[in-house]
Chains A and B, each alone.
Chain A
Amino acid sequence: GAVVSQHPSWVICKSGTSVKIECRSLDFQATTMFWYRQFPKQSLMLMATSNEGSKATYEQGVEKDKFLINHASLTLSTLTVTSAHPEDSSFYICSAVRGTIQYFGAGTRLSVL
């Protein structure tokens, strides 16, 4: 149990376009999901906490207008990178909470040309 699906696993886009990443909890309901960003050979940096039915809570320094988060149901949270630029290229990972454990998706590698 506790499977989290993240889609797409890899996306290449042109600068200025928007990209949507989906995070789904497949076999449990998740009131809370998290979105992280990870640079090569570095740790996870928490971007925001996604709460079902309410606005996301963003960490300091993360632009809420650039990284739009929607948690419209108990099994789905989406992260939209708006007007993507090359510096947004990174590995984005989501997690969904069940109990006190975070269960992670497989990640999305975003490359902005």
Chain B
Amino acid sequence: SQQGEEDPQALSIQEGENATMNCSYKTSINNLQWYRQNSGRGLVHLILIRSNEREKHSGRLRVTLDTSKKSSSLLITASRAADTASYFCATANSGGSNYKLTFGKGTLLTVNP
């Protein structure tokens, strides 16, 4: 079953604006990961945040994790048209393996030039 729920389901912004996507999950986790998928392609790993971390940065990406609320957010700053893709959060659940993931439903981000 899909644990993660991304919000919003779709987001359309102008180039240069920031994009924020949220993810909620239901069970305890070891880590949470964000992936990007271009249409009709495989997924690309963006960032991993462990359950004992609250914030992580990678280039224009900023991820936060609030385990008390069971939620995470992905912020893409200064967006570009090439950022247009679907973004998925995925959780590695506590008690399971660190690498078996449960994916959310995804947010479709469209960055207009």
Contacts and interface: CB of A to CB of B under 8 A. Distances in A.
13 contacts: A4-B42, A41-B108, A42-B106, A43-B2, A45-B2, A46-B101, A49-B100, A95-B42, A99-B99, A100-B92, A100-B99, A104-B44, A109-B40
A39 B108 CA distance: 15
A31 B51 CA distance: 25
Q: Tell me the dominant secondary structure on chain A's binding face.
A: strand
Given A100-B92, A107-B42, A43 B104 contact: yes
A106 B41 contact: yes
Contacts, number: 55
B40 A107 contact: yes
A43 B103 contact: yes
Contacts of B48: 100-101
A113 to B, nearest CB: 20
Contacts of A46: 100-103
A43 B88 CA distance: 8
B105 A43 contact: yes
Interface in B7-42: 31, 33, 35, 40-42
A40 B106 CA distance: 12
Contacts of B104: 43
A43 B106 CA distance: 6
A3 to B, nearest CB: 11
Given A4-B42, A104-B44, 12 more contacts: A43-B88, A43-B103, A44-B88, A46-B100, A49-B100, A91-B40, A100-B31, A100-B98, A101-B33, A101-B48, A104-B43, A109-B40
